[in-house]
Amino acid sequence: MKRILNIKILKLVIEYKRQVMYRKAKNLGYSHPKVINCSQELDALLNMYLKQVS
């Protein structure tokens, strides 16, 4: 049960971070350091998610 909740929470956090990254990219451009940092944070979250589901 706890694992399922962790996965659901992780999915919500991933979707939020993705939306934040898209907004930053739209406003600042894809190569801006803030967008790149956000993308790296999203990558880390996605890696955590993949470890949980495998």
Q: What is the pLDDT of residue 1?
A: 75
User: Can you say how many angstroms the Cα of residue 13 is from the centroid of all Cα atoms in its chain?
Assistant: 6
Number of domains the chain contains: 1
Return the exposure string of 3-32: e unless at least 16 CB atoms fall within 10 Å of the residue's CB, then b. Answer: eeeeeeebeeeeeebeeebeebbeeeeeee
Q: Domain range spanning residue 13?
A: 2-53
Is 90 exceeded by the pLDDT of residue 2? Answer: no
CATH code for position 32: 4.10.280
Q: Is the pLDDT of residue 4 over 90?
A: no
Mean pLDDT value across residues 14-19: 98
